[in-house]
Chains A and B, each alone.
Chain A
């Protein structure tokens, strides 16, 4: 079965540094998402992306966050100046169409020190 691929699997950074989390969604999918899960908590929506623009974002997704789809295959999440509370597992997800299941990547564990 096709997969959503995320790199790196682990990222350790110093507070205030910029990080870029990378994702390769499934090739014929049109809707792209980032979610995160802080340890022991539920999976939270960050942002959705469709037709080369953000379609919805949560309160968590403030000015420090941005997303890009620089080419036909990659989808990135950038955090400009990381905070301690950004430490979480970040999941990329994609789907082919509306009312279809969402496929998740295996996640990037971000640790901000």
Chain B
């Protein structure tokens, strides 16, 4: 039951260029979306989130776009830096109840010097 999908297992980007990570979801009850960054042997670290009432949220080099009609969100990192190399997880939660996060499979981003 893959309610949140990240179809690209890996992405390689040149330093200084834009990194675009994509995520699709199927559950129309999801109303809060988050991106997490994860290094090996560490817990996920929160990056940025967006509520379903918005279509864009920006924080420094990170911007998240939400297209509700397409059930698609993306994370843009501009400019990409070597320290951005990590696994990025998209996550979503639905209103009410425990609001558990449902995670995608992750995309391994590598920034090349």
Contacts and interface: CB of A to CB of B under 8 A. Distances in A.
Interface of A is mostly: strand
Interface of A: 4, 6, 31, 33, 35, 41-45, 48, 50, 55-56, 89, 91, 93, 98-99, 101-107, 109
Nearest to B44: A104
24 contacts: A6-B43, A31-B98, A31-B99, A35-B101, A42-B89, A43-B91, A45-B101, A48-B100, A55-B97, A55-B98, A91-B44, A98-B99, A99-B32, A99-B93, A99-B95, A101-B34, A101-B49, A102-B101, A103-B46, A104-B36, A104-B45, A105-B43, A106-B42, A107-B42
A102 B89 contact: no
Interface residues of B, number: 26
B25 interface: no
A99 B44 CA distance: 17
A30 to B, nearest CB: 12
A35 B112 CA distance: 32
Interface stretch (B10-18, B66-74, B76-84, B103-111): B103-111
